[in-house]
Amino acid sequence: MKNLLNLAIFLIICNAVHAQNFEEQTEIYRKHYKEEFLSSKNSPLKKDDLNYLRFFEPDSTYRVTAVFKRIQKSRPFEMPTYSAMNKTYVKYGQLKFRLHGKKQSLTVYRSLSLQSQPQYRDYLFLPFKDKTNGVDSYGGGRYIDLRTGDIKDNTVVLDFNKAYNPYCAYSDGYHCPIPPDDNHLTAKIEAGEMNFGKEH
């Protein structure tokens, strides 16, 4: 009985430490995310605007392992943007995972224009919509960045706590891709970036 009690206490402590570490890691990620607005040449935000960035509380249940399946011989297609200017992508692969017990699927894309730039050669793009759009999060959907190196043994760790808004959420005049219908989730993704707290 004593051993079982000690085991229960140990597991509680481990879970608490894990949660704390996850929260710290998420906060560090968000700090870097905010700093990038100040170093980017075409950033829509100034230093004072960063106070209006809002996020869901870090939640490790929105960090899942997805099974990756490569899409072979994918043809380039034009993905519409909110400025009516299309961008050329190819379907790179499909991610299948469970979120809160329910099966989900998303397609990850590769930009042909970015693929030609050495610093973005391994860049993958994951745009999506979910049931929080237009309520708690930006109505136009959100994005997650991935790299080809994130794919290990045909799996990818997908962290929705790193979901971020397109520049169109902050200002007009940007060419933000519209998440394709295949990437419209029926779930509420209460993780990552929320609505910008300032009108534009």
Residue 40 lies in a domain: no
Distances from the Cα of 75 to the Cα of 71, 92, 109, 110, 115, angstroms? 10, 10, 11, 11, 15
State both tokens at 194: 């929320």
Residue 45 lies in a domain: no
Number of domains present in the structure of the chain: 1
- How confident is the prediction along the chain (200 residues), in pLDDT tens digits per residue? 544 443 344 334 444 445 579 999 999 999 999 999 999 989 999 999 999 999 999 999 999 999 999 999 889 999 999 988 899 999 999 999 999 999 999 999 999 888 878 778 899 999 999 999 999 999 999 999 999 999 999 999 999 999 999 999 999 989 999 999 999 999 999 999 999 998 76
Residue 199 lies in a domain: no
Q: Does residue 1 belong to any structural domain of this protein?
A: no
Residue 192 in domain: no
Report if residue 200 sits inside a domain: no
How far is Cα 61 from Cα 155, in angstroms, rounded to an integer?
Answer: 17
24 falls within a domain: no
Residue pair 52/199 in contact by the 8 Å Cβ criterion: no
Full residue range of the structural domain in which residue 149 is found: 55-183
How far is residue 200's CA from residue 198's CA, in Å, rounded to a whole number? 7
Q: What is the pLDDT of residue 23?
A: 94
The answer to the question of residue 71 being in a domain is: yes
